[in-house]
Amino acid sequence: DIQMTQSPSSLSASMGDRVTITCRASQSISSYLNWYQRKPGKAPRLLIYDASSLQSGVPSRFSGSGSGTDFTLTISSLQPEDFATYYCQQSYGTVTFGPGTKVDIK
Partner 1 sequence: QVQLQESGPGLVKPSETLSLTCSVSGVSIYSYYWSWIRQPPGKGLEWVGHINYSGDTNYNPSLMSRVTISVDTSKNQISLKLSSVTAADTAVYYCARHVIIAVAAFDHWGQGALVTVSS
Annotate each residue in 51-80 with x if it binds partner 1 (CB under 8 A) or - if it does not, as one string.
Answer: ----xx------------------------
Counting runs of H as helices and runs of E as strands, what totals does the chain give?
A: 0, 11
Window 12-51: contact mask with partner 1 (x via CB under 8 A): --------------------x-x-x------xx-x--xx-
Residues within window 77-106 making contact with partner 1, judged by CB under 8 A: 87, 89, 91, 94-100
Separation CA 61–CA 18 (nearest Å): 9
For the chain, report the end-to-end CA distance as a whole number of angstroms: 36
